[in-house]
Structure 1
């Protein structure tokens, strides 16, 4: 949506389409006011679009279309890149437009956003492979998985237990599970042990103030130890990316310090930092520039002055790690998921101890998300320290060992995912929603982090048939 915004204030953004479709000037103020009110942006008329949150920017893009009063609106992944609060804002806006009678075609990877549609079309390789009511299609777990769609957690639970008529909402699912005698009996959980020893990265009293005067981080202190898998979470604008960019010296502290094995990053050479802490941007296109895949991955090792044989060995190792074989391919002709893995490969060729990734699954379909997270799990199992920024609940629940929550530039929580997802106050502070399987489990008296975990706690007679 940011590629669609270009004006210097909100009013100019909305009026642009009207000016180019010959709408009489006398009609424009009323259309602008109505469009902004419809998307909940009344009072934002003089604001600079760059100062808006992700959800507000997306709603502004929608307002620019609404002002032209189209009979049909097409939205291409309108909730991608948004935090949970922004997603909720956009989905509420779309629900209101639908209630007002506007026809919409919405392209989405997220089944939660598709569940309330009138008609669901599933495409694979350019062909419609299924069409019908969302509730019926999404309940077919095998078909969803084959089409690269993440099936709803409730449907996966019911399918695994061999129960019919899976509902999409967790409250109804909990009632039906109780009625079927499928009540989980979880084990007693002890707090997971934290790694010992000295920290690999030590952040102390970190403050960061941008040239505009905005203080993005205030008194943040945390330690990341070797071999951890950490998820940084929080609303858009909470300071996650600012903190992440301090971990490898992309940003310098206004106050405080970031140390790598006891040494202040400000005293380390860029060459050493690049080999110790790798950073993968949210948009791989901000990181890729070479003409071929091979050149992209070789660039880092070559700039370290390594011998040709060593460069080739590192390229082969990195490409094998991410599952890429097309050495001569143009990076910009690859799918988004492949470009994302290529960006990871380019960093892996430097053999860093720590890998920091900003939203590694955003904009990917479920199949590509699984590939990316399987890659990160394998790298973690191989000894690397992983830090990810993410808004995706199931990624946190199933992969992270530790959650660090930022709110208003301050550290609000630092602990295990199970504790995070069991705390309603924390979830509200982060504008976060637990995975559906966790919400379902909590209605049944437990806090599972995955479908497999919840099903494993069910009575033996409810286990799936062999």
Structure 2
């Protein structure tokens, strides 16, 4: 579904201005992949390259069979939705109803009646007031509206750039549960994220960048347990994983906490060890 081959990108014309260096990456239909790394690692740049917002300086990216360098953004948008870190960058209508209908009309996803029905369904699902002004909503509600507007066009691929930045826990979970439901229904999700707790809870696969290069790619929990990888990327594991690793070190060879990813799972392992 998504194929990157030897992709490089930079705003200048020389190698020393490159932000992305020879990245090769394949993402299959229905995966939930988190792209992580320290600030400046190239995470957002890579996500925008995959979406076709940026074009590679060299190498090739294909998304659903389309070469992003040769395809119009309007064509790529039929299959790929992109949620910006700041929702204010993609809201443009006067009411919630108009905002959710905007993308559907632009991409001609159906008749006027079909768009009307789909818009009403999304408004009801998210609990919006249809006549509310988007910029009168809270930061979290604006992010949910931006997400709802993308969901309305039913993209095959959803790319999220730090989707929960600035949100409280409740708002964060509302966003992520909506994304998780999309993924369960077959949408491929690529999420740029610095929150390791969130990555562990939702992403099955984790790609780690450092200095514009991929330094690790694999099952999320396996990478979370790799101190060397996290150190290279200036990341800290979630607290549960950290505690599990420390217990393994303290009781070396006696107990196995390698599959622990939740507090309940850790408690169960400790009870088992005590017995």
Which TM-score applies when normalising by structure 2? 0.90
**CA RMSD of superposed structures (Å):** 1.9
1:207 aligns with 2:8: yes
Q: Is the 8 A contact 2:78 2:107 kept in 1?
A: no
Structure 2 residue aligned with 1:450:
262
1:349 is matched with 152
Say which one has the larger Rg: 1
Q: Highest relative contact order (Cα 8 Å, sep 6+), 1 or 2?
A: 2
Unaligned residue ranges in structure 2 (runs of 5+): 249-256
Q: How does 1:18-417 map to 2 (within 5 A)?
A: 200-211=1-12, 214-305=17-108, 306-321=110-125, 323-417=126-220
- Per-residue displacement from partner, 1:210-246 (whole Å, max 9, x unpaired)? 1485211010000010010000001111111111001
Measured in 2, the distance between the counterparts of 1:320 and 1:431 equals 42
| 8 Å contact kept, 2:64–2:79 | no
Instruction: Name the CA distance, whole Å, in 1 between partners of 2:63 and 2:273.
Output: 52
| Equivalent residue in structure 1 for 2:233, among 392, 412, 430 | 430
Larger deviation, residues 325-334 vs 207-216: 207-216
CA distance in 1, matches of 2:217, 2:78: 27
Q: Secondary structure at the match of 1:223?
A: strand
**Whole-Å Cα distance in 1 between the matches of residues 97 and 241 of structure 2?**
42
Alpha-carbon spacing, 1:452–1:251, altered in 2? closer, same or farther (3 Å): same
1-structure distance, mates of 2:208, 2:244: 23
The size of the alignment, in residue pairs, is 263
Give the conservation status (yes or no) of the 8 Å contact 1:317–1:349. no
CA shift in 2, pair 1:317/1:222, >3 Å: farther
Contact 1:377 1:399 in 2 (8 A): yes
In the aligned structure 2, how far is the partner of 1:385 from the partner of 1:421?
Answer: 22
Is this contact kept in 2: 1:301–1:314, CA < 8 A?
Answer: no
Q: What is the TM-score normalised by the length of structure 1? A: 0.54
Structure 1 gaps, min length 5: 1-199
